[in-house]
Structure 1
Amino acid sequence: MSFFGKNIKKIRGVKGLSQQAFAELFELKRGTLGAYEEGRSEPKIETIIRIANYFSIAIDDLLTRELTVNQLLKFKGDLTTYAEDIKREQFANIPCITDNTSNEYIAFYDKPFFIKELPIVQLPVNPTKEFRAYTVSNLEMTSHDKGFYPKDVVIGEKVPQTVIKKLNTGTLVFVVVGNKLIFRRLYVANNNAVLRADHKNIEDEEYSLSDIKEIWRVRYVFFRRIPEFSDAVEDKLIMIERELLKMKNRLGNE
């Protein structure tokens, strides 16, 4: 008994091909293919060879044993998904600080067992560097309806203590200092760190650099909503249009 019929039906299932599509692929009639699958007819040797070659399946395997789906997926040729041949890109696993874990993070920020239990964000960033994600929880970094809102997520790269003084003025950071986790802009004066909010009603907080337990420089931002960029762009276009009109008028008067 040949397993040809069962195997080509299974191939169709793996490939997602209808009887009509499969039949047309090998210049067969749909009824003829149905007869093969039901065991009412045996194919010509030329048909067997064409199908076996197309899917890179040994003729002996196609005829003498029932193939499993897993076996079919391992065959090379047009049938395979090439899953084993594709080099998968490795995304970095970034622990994420949320509203629910922020207080615990302050206490256990340097404990590997705790960090492993944090939710994970996967991103195509350099996996050799250390990153941390932070979920914004307040309105301190908003200004005139712009900026960061609760549930926005910022991704920070760890900054060694020796590098803090080299950060640009106004760099976005989130830091563990004292019993707080603070997301603000950093200004370094002598050996002190001034953490300044964008919201005008929030006072600066100042700490000695030696008191900072951990600091992360913001590299990437994920907004919960789409930021409004249109106003700024439109204002610039209007300004450019006005300047061009002035130049045109001046040239016309010369």
Structure 2
Amino acid sequence: MSFFGKNIKKIRGVKRLSQQAFAEIFDLKRATLGAYEEGRSEPKIDTIIKIANYFSIPIDNLLTSELTVNNLLQFKENLTLESGDTPKETYAKIPCITENTIAQYLEHYNKPAFINDLPEIQLPINPQKKFRAYTVTNLEMANHDSGLYPKDMVIGEFVPNNIIKKLNNGELALTLAKGELILRRLYCTNDSIVLRADHKNVPDKTFSIKEIKEVWKIRYVFFRRVPDFNFSVEDKLSFLEQEFFKLKRGLK
């Protein structure tokens, strides 16, 4: 078993990176990174190489020995813990389409000067990818007490036109088509795109592929309210099991 998991956890601590932020740098899922750190899974060789090269750490050291903070500081100066010398992290700057700018966006979506003038949010996600933020304005993606409500915000990753038909049916996407900006689930049928709301009383909208100007696959959601996180049966059993062991230890 390698020391890879312990070492990347140590690197995160030195760099003050969350699991999500670290995973984004190397196009990993947060759960996958967690599995590496806990020793439940081993990474592919290309992932090891990317991380070793990024932090200028010899692969041998990354895999075969538990690194100390002093080791890490020797490998690369910008891993320093000194606050004055810590390099500023680069966050992705994401243009945000608000209720007040939708009309202008429909007309000027392809003009860089207009996009640069939109409000921006910054997030610790891959700055090399192209994202767009959008403030929800209707109840089309609401279903009873769940789903998206006005003032919630979604973050979409740009999907090139030649990739649209490869998206999984039912993906939540922000689509610009025929003078409309529509947040719905996307379905591909031959040369057409069907946009379907979660609200059952809202009819589908269908467009040909040629009518599609932009598609942004939704990757992140920010709720204006705190969602109702219902525990699953597994969560409840796990909680009860933990409480049982606490009681058992207290009786000893």
Is the shorter-chain TM-score for this pair beyond 0.5, marking a shared fold? yes
**TM alignment of 1:85-234, pairs within 5 A:** 85-230=85-230, 233=232
Question: Distance in 2 between the 1:221 and 1:114 partners?
Answer: 24
Q: Counterpart in 1 of 2:12? A: none
Change (3 A) 1:198 1:236: farther
Larger Rg over CA atoms: 1
After superposition, give the CA deviation of every residue in 1:67-117 in whole Å (9 maximum; x if it has no partner): xxxxxxxxxxxxxx9554111110010000000001110100000010011
Q: Provide Cα deviations, 1:177-199, integer angstroms capped at 9, x if missing partner.
A: 01110000000000100000000
Aligned counterparts of 2:109 and 2:200: Cα–Cα separation in 1: 30
| Amino-acid identity (%) | 53
| Residues 2-21 of structure 1: pairs in structure 2 closer than 5 A | none
Find runs of 4+ consecutive structure 1 residues off by over 3 angstroms: 81-84, 234-238
Distance 1:235 1:138, change over 3 A: farther
Matched residue, 1:23:
none
Pairing 1:68-79 to 2, within 5 Å after superposition: none
Q: How does 1:9-48 map to 2 (within 5 A)?
A: none
Q: Distance in 2 between matches of 1:227 and 1:83?
A: 36
Q: Over residues 132-165 of structure 1, what are the superposed CA-to-partner deviations in whole Å (9 max), with x where a residue is unaligned?
A: 0000000000011210000000000000000001
Structure 1 spans left out of the alignment, 5+ residues: 1-80, 242-254
Over aligned residues, Cα RMSD in angstroms?
A: 2.0
Could you tell me how far apart the structure 2 residues matched to 1:180 and 1:228 are? 31
Deviation at 1:233, TM superposition (A): 2.7
Give, in whole Å, the separation in 1 of the partners of 2:131 and 2:82.
Answer: 32
AA partner of residue 118 (structure 2): L
1:125 Cα shift?
Answer: 0.8
Structure 2: runs of 5+ lacking an equivalent: 1-80, 241-252
Please state whether the residue corresponding to 2:113 is helix, strand or coil. helix
Judged with a 3 Å threshold, the aligned counterparts in structure 2 of structure 1 residues 236 and 82 are, in CA distance, closer, same or farther, namely: closer
CA distance in 1, matches of 2:162, 2:195: 18
Partner SS, residue 228 of structure 2: coil
Distance 2:229 2:144 in 1: 13
**Paired letter, 2:189:** A
- The 1-side partners of 2:234 and 2:98 are apart by 37
CA shift for structure 1 position 229: 1.9
Change (3 A) 1:124 1:213: same
Equivalent residue pairs, number: 158
> Residue 235 of structure 1: CA displacement?
9.7
Distance 2:169 2:236 in 1: 29
Paired with 1:224 and 1:101, the residues of 2 have a C-alpha distance of 19
* C-alpha separation in 1, matches of 2:235 and 2:141: 24
Q: Using structure 2 for the length normalisation, give the TM-score.
A: 0.60
Q: Distance in 1 between matches of 2:176 and 2:137?
A: 15
CA offsets per residue over residues 190-237 of structure 1, 9 Å max, x none? 01000000000000000001100011000011000011122x636985
TM-score with structure 1 length normalisation?
0.59
- Where 1:176 maps in the other structure, the secondary structure is strand
3-state SS, counterpart of residue 116 of structure 1: helix
